[in-house]
Chains A and B, each alone.
Chain A
Amino acid sequence: MNKKNLKIIVFTAYFLFIIFSFILNFNPGKEIGNNFLDFLLDMLKILPCAFILIGLFEVWVKRETVEKHFGDESGIRGYLWGILLAGTSVGGLYVSFPVAYSLYNKGAKLSIIFTYISASGICRIPMTIFEASFIGIKFTIIRFLVSLPLVIISSILLGNYLTKRNYEIAEGK
């Protein structure tokens, strides 16, 4: 049995389980089904816009522009751009992956891509404001000052390591 068939079987089993849970009034299954719907609706508020913006980015933004600001020659400013871009992003990591992939295909370098992904986890602006108001500004500042340099350093190390080994990001691998 190949992998694709296995996936289809697992998905079918999952959805049958949900459907029968609703028919038979099986509460755990109903709860799981509701969780699925809740998150699906949440993501549908973000994903279509995110992918439309990715599409527009692909046709309008020139490769040279990305190379200049996020590529090998961008230097320290490339990381700053990556972090700023991450700060304005929405959703969660799952939105950053396709964005990172498009950036990479337009000539962004790996270390900046990884910085962008991690930074989009830890420094989205709306989320940070939320954090500071519930946990405290001191907490947020320490978290930023410690995590951002570590993110940049580890991204550079990982990027260099992968570049040396001729790694290439391949969609659908």
Chain B
Amino acid sequence: MQYLFLITGALVLLSFWADRDKTVKALKITFKKFKKILPAFLAMLALVSIILFAVPDQVISHYLGSSNKFSGIILATFFGSITMMPGFIAFPLSGILLQKGVPYMVISAFTTTLMMVGVLTYPIEKEYFGHKVTLIRNGISLLIALIVALVIGIFFGEVL
């Protein structure tokens, strides 16, 4: 994360050195764009805060750990779609679930939907792309996640 600050800082300085006016213009664009999308970000944060309260990690881990393969996949898809979790929490959690005997295909459905399907990011995506395209993109992502889960299941010998 510090790299991001360093790179950004270095680029701003470089830009300032190269062309002062352009840099000021860039920062104005930054500010304008940020201000415009801020309400959508706050909406997302409010949704995230409620969902994380309603569906904490323990609940996810409990449900994924105590169901059969196929209901597991459906639950994993559901949880993966409605929650938001940074990788440094999601993958260790997946590791623990694997040790508990949760199939790879369930883990796959969970992590892939977590990464690609965003119910919580809907307010932001909608601002840029509109309702319809947001729904289509998330629908496609859901489908891809299920296909990936199936193939993972085949390769890890879990399907038959």
Task: Identify the A interface with B (CB < 8 A).
Answer: 7, 11, 14, 28, 31-33, 35-36, 39-40, 42-43, 45-49, 51-56, 58-60, 90, 92-94, 97-98, 100-101, 114, 117-118, 121-122, 124, 126-127, 130-131, 133-135, 138-139, 142-143, 146-147, 150-151, 154, 158, 162, 167, 169-173
**Chain B residues, CB < 8 A from A98:** 33, 37, 128
B111 lies within 8 A of A131 (CB): yes
**Contact A93 B118, CB 8 Å, known A7-B39, A31-B53, A59-B26:** yes
In the assembled complex, the Cα of A14 lies from the Cα of B29 at a distance in Å of 30
Known: A31-B53, A55-B28. 7 other contacts (CB 8 A): A7-B39, A36-B45, A39-B45, A42-B86, A101-B128, A118-B137, A131-B87
B36 lies within 8 A of A171 (CB): yes
Task: Identify the B interface with A (CB < 8 A).
Answer: 1, 4-5, 7-8, 11-12, 15, 22-23, 25-31, 33-34, 36-37, 39, 41-46, 48-50, 52-53, 84, 86-88, 91-92, 94-95, 98, 104, 107-108, 111-112, 115-116, 118, 121, 124-125, 127-130, 133, 136-137, 140-141, 144-145, 147-148, 151-152, 155-156
**Chain A residues, CB < 8 A from B127:** 97, 171-173
A55 lies within 8 A of B137 (CB): no
Most chain B beta carbons < 10 A, residue from A40, A56, A130, A167: A56
A147 lies within 8 A of B155 (CB): no
Total number of A-B contacts with CB less than 8 angstroms? 189
A121 lies within 8 A of B8 (CB): no
Majority secondary structure, B binding face: helix
CB distance from B28 to the nearest CB of A (A): 8
**Chain A residues, CB < 8 A from B118:** 92-94
**Contact A32 B49, CB 8 Å, known A55-B30, A146-B147:** yes
A94 lies within 8 A of B144 (CB): no
Q: List 27 A-B contacts (CB under 8 A).
A: A11-B46, A32-B50, A52-B27, A55-B30, A59-B25, A59-B26, A59-B29, A90-B1, A93-B121, A97-B128, A98-B33, A98-B37, A121-B115, A122-B112, A126-B87, A130-B91, A131-B94, A131-B111, A133-B91, A134-B91, A135-B104, A135-B107, A138-B155, A139-B104, A154-B140, A158-B137, A172-B127
